[in-house]
Amino acid sequence: MKTTIRKRVLITGGTKGIGYAIALLLAQSGYDLALTWASDEDAALAAAGTLSPLADIKLIRADISDSGSIDTIHSALEGTRLDGIIFNAGLTCRDSLEEIKPADWERIFFANVHFPVFLLQRLMKSISEGGSIVFTGSAMGIYPHAVSLSYGVSKSAVHALVKNLVKTLSPRKIRVNAIAPGFVDTDWQKTKPAEIRSNIESKIALGRFCLPEEVAEVYKLSLENQYLNGEIIVVDGGYSYK
Ligand SMILES: NC(=O)c1ccc[n+]([C@@H]2O[C@H](COP(=O)([O-])OP(=O)(O)OC[C@H]3O[C@@H](n4cnc5c(N)ncnc54)[C@H](OP(=O)(O)O)[C@@H]3O)[C@@H](O)[C@H]2O)c1
């Protein structure tokens, strides 16, 4: 009898929001998963409980603002082949140029740019030929933003990183892309005041926030489509067209 080897994908911040929506879609599609989380153990256990009947789930506690978490993930995945990595977890800081402190600027850059770079460096030998890496950029890395300066600039760096990594990863037959979501209705957005939310909706051609499930479909496409490489795929419902 022929046995099919199940593929495994690592998703950082895979227990809530966009990361969880991707995890659910991939588990339903036959992938095994490694999911990282940082502080909400109840949510992590609940996510694993829902996904376990569908897939083998490894849960790894790893905070992207802590360099030690790179070792933690590397050790937890020792001997595990990975067919894909989805760098999803990210941090923001809403301090303006006048307010932001060097330590906060560095924390945002560490979490959004340095952490995925050096985690990828450690995991390179574990990624199968034909594997796929998906980063998470942002529409805020494309459109100028007065507040969240560190966030917008760090996400622009993620977009540039993807373009540069094509040169490094192509000889190893690994594809790399980024998804740049606009405004996705996760806790990140749900906690904003109603007035700010309706201001955002007024600038989106579709007039509403993106559902996590809608953007998850694009991550899956990016993971699987064999000709997609070096792209920054914007999923913003037509932001700034209104
Ligand atoms: N939502 C949007 O509108 C939007 C738009 C553009 C780009 N993005 C990007 O999409 C990604 C996910 O956003 P989201 O809205 O889904 O976020 P979210 O709902 O806040 O996602 C939370 C997930 O990330 C984990 N997480 C939070 N802080 C972490 C940390 N310090 N270290 C490691 N993991 C951490 C959480 O684990 P715990 O709960 O255990 O901490 C959880 O699994 C981010 O990179 C964000 O920049 C989001």
- Please determine, for residue 3, whether its predicted confidence score (pLDDT) is greater than 80: no
Give the lowest-confidence range in 130-134, 146-150, 203-207: 146-150
Averaged over 22-49, what is the pLDDT? 98
Q: Bridge-partner residues for 8, per DSSP? A: 32
Nearest Cα neighbor of 34 from 99, 83, 92 is 83
| Residue nearest to ligand 1 atom 25, measured at CA | 13
Q: What is the pLDDT of residue 133?
A: 98
Averaged over 175-196, what is the pLDDT? 96
Q: What is the pLDDT of residue 123?
A: 98
Q: What is the pLDDT of residue 90?
A: 98
Q: What is the pLDDT of residue 2?
A: 64
| Residue nearest to ligand 1 atom 32, measured at CA | 63
Alpha-helical runs (H) found in 52-148: 68-76, 102-109, 115-123
> In whole angstroms, what is the distance from residue 216 CA to residue 202 CA?
24
Ligand 1 centre from 180 Cα, in Å? 14
155-190 CB burial, b ≥16 within 10 A, e <16: bbbbbebbeebeeebeeeebbbbbbbbbbbbbeeee
Q: 204-233, pLDDT tens digit by residue?
A: 999 999 999 999 999 999 999 999 999 999
> In whole angstroms, what is the distance from residue 15 CA to residue 42 CA?
10
Query: CB of 19 closer than 6 A to ligand 1?
Result: yes
Q: What is the pLDDT of residue 240?
A: 84
| Residue nearest to ligand 1 atom 44, measured at CA | 90
Give the lowest-confidence range in 15-24, 31-40, 91-100, 159-168: 91-100
Query: CB of 187 closer than 6 A to ligand 1?
Result: yes
- Structure confidence at residue 117 as a pLDDT band (50, 70, 90): very high
Q: 66-93, pLDDT tens digit by residue?
A: 999 999 999 999 999 999 999 999 999 9
Query: CB of 220 closer than 6 A to ligand 1?
Result: no
| Residue nearest to ligand 1 atom 23, measured at CA | 13
Averaged over 134-138, what is the pLDDT? 98
Q: What is the pLDDT of residue 1?
A: 63
Query: CB of 43 closer than 6 A to ligand 1?
Result: yes
Ligand 1 centre from 102 Cα, in Å? 22
Q: What is the pLDDT of residue 114?
A: 98
Nearest Cα neighbor of 34 from 56, 53, 18, 54 is 56
Query: CB of 99 closer than 6 A to ligand 1?
Result: no
Q: Which domains does the chain have, with CATH numbers?
A: 8-235 (3.40.50.720)
